Structure 1
Amino acid sequence: MDDLNGNGISGKQFLVVGATGELGSRIAGELSSRGAELTLSGRDQEKLGALAGRLGAQSIAADLTLPGGPAGIVDALDGQPLDGVVYAAGVVAFGALAELDDDTLDELLLTNFVGYARLLRAVLPRLEKGGQVVQISAVVADSPTAGMAAYSASKAALSAFGKAAALELRRSGVRVLDVRPPHTETGLATRPIDGQAPRLPQGKDPDAVARRIVDAMAAGERDLPSSSFD
């Protein structure tokens, strides 16, 4: 295993998708501080440009909910090989299953799972041997939660898809790191696409969560359940 002082990170090319989110931006910053070369993608072009400028990174604005969005990110790389991909995009919704509307269900699945599946399919030819894919799921993938049925399902689908992909990619030397952090104070729960969050316990520090994820990337870990953040 690589050590945690940037070995395995410095000088490597990483694509961070969902980079304008609170956790995605912190992961990008942590990777940059350890010497990684970054390409950042997000939906908010203004925030993306500001972050890319601060980190000295390339940027690709894209909407993952569109059928061609994920492949468009890869096409915009213009042949550049990658050592790693971080999928940190995600949205959340709250409410009873009986009140779940089609638009909310579609956006949850498209952003949290389908966009990832399409991106992974498109990016595989660009990944160098020994590269890595990091997928940010959630604790609800292991512990589905009432009032969050569709969100739980979308995160469980992402987690399962990546774990199955990891078995297929062993021969090519590409590893998949499945990250299922507990509730983290990113503010995502205050920005649901539908419903209102219940009272939640104090979440984890997002800076500490981002550092733990990048430590795991550097060390070659393949699984980060919620207990890994205690």
Structure 2
Amino acid sequence: MSNSLQDKVAVITGAGSGIGRSMADTFLAQGAKIVVFGRNPAPLAEIAANNQDRVLVVPGDVTNADDLSRLVAESVKRFGGVDIVIPNAGIAKVASFADSDTAAIHQQFSVNFVGAVQTVRGFLPHIRKGGSVLFVTTFLTQVGFPGLAIYSASKAALKSFSQTLAAELAPQGIRVNSVAPGPIATPIWGSIGLPPDVLQAVAGQVTARLLPGAFGEPADIAKTAAFLCSDAAKNIWGQEIVVDGGYTVG
């Protein structure tokens, strides 16, 4: 694998599993130094085990302001500044519209939107010129999926925010883009709140629309992320790149 991210410093939240973990592995393989952040310290420690000189582990929760402040402080203390910020941490819960009360809305928006935005805001004074911010949205901003209205709305807000932020940060030489995963085989599918038999049925329906005939892999998103954060993508600003196996084609 190329060293397209050689010596760049990347911060990845939600790095303990799924897409975040794959991003951490991919960015390391491409030469980056990384800061990994998440609620469970154990998988973060695994990432650092053989890369102590290039990995900083900071346990915490993106909904906790003190944790985010500590993330920024420790990252800057260790690496001086950062080049890439990927606020990947997110949650998805199935909830019908009838059940989408204030608490249900707040739960997902606090992580998916507010947590992501505040992560980037904390790092803003420390992102070097030529740096990159990459938000993680979803293909569900383009299609309707019953029970995921709140999740989709939180990501749609993030998509809109990223486009505006791209214009705002461009004078500082900071690129802002988004990657929108489609159906990806990650642990989040098992935590959305559906019974196993229903989850299997839904997965079958989704797979039928995928052109490769199978869910994507976390590495598909991680490799796209690495490209978007590299100098090879220096002329890509304010875009959302959809990686969905063709689901939204038709």
Q: TM-score, normalised by structure 1?
A: 0.89
C-alpha distance in 2 between matches for 1:51 and 1:45: 10
2:37 aligned counterpart, secondary structure: strand
- Whether the 8 Å CA contact 1:21–1:89 is kept in 2: the answer is no
User: Which residue number in structure 1 is paired with residue 140 of structure 2?
Assistant: 140
Q: Which deviations, in whole Å up to 9, do the C-alpha atoms of 1:28-81 show, x marking residues without a partner?
A: 100100111111111101222222224431111111122333233112224420
- Whether the 8 Å CA contact 2:135–2:179 is kept in 1: the answer is yes
Largest Rg, 1 or 2:
2
User: Which residue number in structure 1 is paired with residue 73 of structure 2?
Assistant: 75
- Whether the 8 Å CA contact 1:139–1:225 is kept in 2: the answer is no
Q: What pairs up with 1:97-112 in 2 under 5 angstroms?
A: 97-112=97-112
Unaligned runs of 5+ in 2: 208-214
- Whether the 8 Å CA contact 2:72–2:123 is kept in 1: the answer is yes
- Whether the 8 Å CA contact 2:216–2:244 is kept in 1: the answer is no
C-alpha distance in 2 between matches for 1:45 and 1:123: 21
Q: CA deviation at 1:10?
A: 0.6
C-alpha distance in 1 between matches for 2:108 and 2:194: 13
Q: Which deviations, in whole Å up to 9, do the C-alpha atoms of 1:114-139 show, x marking residues without a partner?
A: 01111111110000001001111111
- Whether the 8 Å CA contact 1:181–1:224 is kept in 2: the answer is no
- Whether the 8 Å CA contact 1:212–1:229 is kept in 2: the answer is no
Counting matched residue pairs gives 225
User: Which residue number in structure 2 is paired with residue 204 of structure 1?
Assistant: 216
- 1:93–1:15 Cα change, 3 Å: same
1:130 aligned counterpart, secondary structure: strand
C-alpha distance in 2 between matches for 1:134 and 1:21: 18
C-alpha distance in 2 between matches for 1:224 and 1:55: 31
Q: What pairs up with 1:124-139 in 2 under 5 angstroms?
A: 124-139=124-139
Q: CA deviation at 1:144?
A: 4.0
User: Which residue number in structure 2 is paired with residue 13 of structure 1?
Assistant: 9
User: Which residue number in structure 2 is paired with residue 24 of structure 1?
Assistant: 20
- Whether the 8 Å CA contact 1:95–1:195 is kept in 2: the answer is no
In angstroms, what is the RMSD of aligned CA positions? 2.0
User: Which residue number in structure 1 is paired with residue 38 of structure 2?
Assistant: 42
Seq. identity, %: 24
Q: CA deviation at 1:224?
A: 4.0
- 1:227–1:89 Cα change, 3 Å: closer
User: Which residue number in structure 2 is paired with residue 175 of structure 1?
Assistant: 175
- Whether the 8 Å CA contact 2:76–2:126 is kept in 1: the answer is no
User: Which residue number in structure 1 is paired with residue 242 of structure 2?
Assistant: 226
- 1:21–1:122 Cα change, 3 Å: same
**Whose RCO is larger (CA < 8 A, sep 6+)?**
1
